[in-house]
């Protein structure tokens, strides 16, 4: 039975804190296994990749099989329907347009003492894009990872994706082709992360790894951070819906289950100011689960990880939202924009009754790779900035060095760093 708490309950604060602390999967639980996998790949390269793929995924791969050749990629488009291709293209175009608007500008200026300063942006040289392939296949994740990297100007973009069936889902390969990715490897899990970070005979290492995965992928990303950059440590998917009683309970029920059907550790939470509406949503969820295709997964997620919070007024919801800091936030209320202004912490926000979170998973435009497990308090969703870095520059002439150099000398000497001070002083003395 789904957890239900009420803000009027005298024990509410304790119940709410337990909800915040109730995490389904901890990266630490998978760290030991992932560390062992990483070490095997570091030592044995391709041999470890094929061995681990057989042991963990039950697939016999030759070294040649690790690479998804261009012919297989090109043929993928012929294996999907016209409607599927057009939908992928539609999504790709919208995702591209949104991320193009994120591109930052370089700047430089000359200050009042003639010091020239500025900042310039450049892309990383290579990036590994992890595409999940567990209980479902996600061509949308290919678009969301690969397109911002392309827009940012990353010259080498690499995809790793596990093959869970007889072949990689042609939609995944079609999405890769639409995104301009031609380098794809048929590997997943922690071994894929290790290969991207350290390289093997077949897989050249990259500078950064992005993309969500299971607990072992998350643990592996955490372990290789520093050798390569990463986007985040992604946990189970989650949604928080703030809804008033004017909504159709069935709509909200489907929105909750849209997250729950991802996997058994996904989390769906509803905040509402109506006890009656909360009961209507619970009943609608039960009705839908009877016939939902992924009902077993969704039911386990809803009953073990789901929650309903009843508040006396929706004005109470904003503080709770910020404390939860959800990956996805739906504001299915009468004036969602006004409510949004009071909220600071959320990965992506969906406004109004006609903006289900699922629209953001596919075609809205903003990225669906988002901070989970309260990380929205300090981080953001994937963007072009994840594939770029900035360098600052400074240029002094003798006149400007004479104006700003003496205070720098004073500070260097105060810190006990005489060579720092002298490197400035010798230039100033040469002008006398």
- Joined together, the tokens standing for residue 265 give 């550790």
Which residues neighbour 89 within 8 Å (Cβ) at sequence distance 6 or greater? 178
Residue 59: exposure state from Cβ atoms within 10 A (0-12, 13-18, ≥19): middle
Concerning whether 328 is annotated as a catalytic residue, the answer is yes
Q: For the chain, what is the total number of helices (H) and then of strands (E)?
A: 18, 15
β-bridge mates for residue 268, sequence order: 239
Kindly name the residue from 183, 238, 264, 327 that is annotated as catalytic.
327
Q: Are 145 and 369 in contact (CB under 8 A)?
A: yes
Q: Distance between terminal CA atoms of the chain? A: 83
Instruction: Return the closest-CA partner of residue 286 out of 265, 312, 308, 313.
Output: 308
327 is catalytic: yes
- Where are the strands (E) in 211-296, listed by range? 229-230, 238-243, 267-272
Question: H or E stretch including 355?
Answer: none
In whole angstroms, what is the distance from residue 184 CA to residue 181 CA? 8
Q: Which of 99, 262, 328, 368 is catalytic?
A: 328
- Distance, CA of 336 to CA of 321 (rounded, Å): 14
Which residue shows structure tokens 């790894």?
A: 209
Closest CA to 358 of 231, 275, 241: 241
Q: Which residues are catalytic?
A: 327-328
């Amino acid at each position: 039975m789904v957890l239900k708490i009420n803000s009027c309950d005298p024990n509410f604060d304790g119940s709410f804190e337990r909800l915040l602390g109730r995490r389904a999967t901890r990266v630490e639980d998978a760290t030991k296994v992932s560390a062992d996998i990483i070490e095997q790949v570091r030592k044995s390269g391709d041999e470890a990749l094929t061995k681990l793929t057989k042991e963990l995924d039950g697939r016999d791969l030759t070294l040649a099989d690790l690479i998804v050749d261009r012919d297989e990629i090109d043929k993928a488009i012929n294996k999907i329907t016209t409607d599927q291709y057009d939908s992928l293209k539609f999504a790709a175009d919208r995702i591209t347009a949104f991320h193009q608007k994120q591109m930052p500008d370089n700047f430089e200026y000359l200050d009042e003492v003639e010091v020239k300063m500025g900042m310039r942006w450049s892309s990383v040289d290579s990036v590994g894009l992890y595409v999940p392939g567990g209980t479902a296949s996600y061509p949308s994740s290919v678009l969301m990872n690969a397109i911002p990297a392309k827009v940012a100007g990353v010259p080498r973009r690499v995809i790793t994706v596990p093959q869970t069936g007889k072949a990689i889902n042609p939609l995944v390969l079609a999405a890769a082709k639409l995104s301009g990715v031609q380098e794809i490897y048929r590997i997943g899990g922690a071994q894929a992360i290790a290969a991207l970070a350290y390289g093997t005979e077949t897989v050249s290492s990259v500078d950064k790894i992005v993309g969500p995965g299971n607990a072992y992928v998350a643990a592996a990303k955490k372990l290789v951070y520093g050798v390569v950059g990463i986007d985040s440590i992604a946990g189970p998917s989650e949604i928080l819906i703030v809804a008033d009683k004017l909504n159709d309970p069935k709509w909200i029920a489907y929105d909750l289950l849209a997250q729950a059907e991802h996997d058994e550790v996904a989390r769906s939470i509803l905040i509402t100011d109506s006890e009656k509406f909360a009961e209507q949503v619970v009943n609608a969820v039960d009705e839908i689960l009877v016939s939902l295709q992924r009902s077993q997964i969704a039911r386990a997620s809803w009953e073990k990880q789901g929650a309903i919070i009843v508040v006396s007024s929706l004005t109470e919801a904003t503080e709770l939202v910020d404390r939860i800091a959800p990956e996805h936030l739906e504001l299915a209320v009468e004036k969602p924009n006004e409510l949004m202004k009071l909220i600071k912490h959320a990965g992506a926000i969906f406004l109004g009754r006609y903006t289900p979170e699922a629209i953001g998973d596919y075609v809205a435009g903003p990225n669906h790779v988002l901070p989970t497990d309260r990380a929205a308090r300090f981080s953001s969703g994937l963007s072009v900035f994840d594939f770029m870095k900035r360098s600052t520059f400074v240029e002094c002439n003798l006149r400007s060095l004479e104006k700003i150099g003496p205070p720098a000398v004073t500070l260097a000497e105060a810190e006990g760093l005489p060579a720092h001070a002298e490197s400035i002083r010798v230039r100033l003395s040469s002008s006398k």
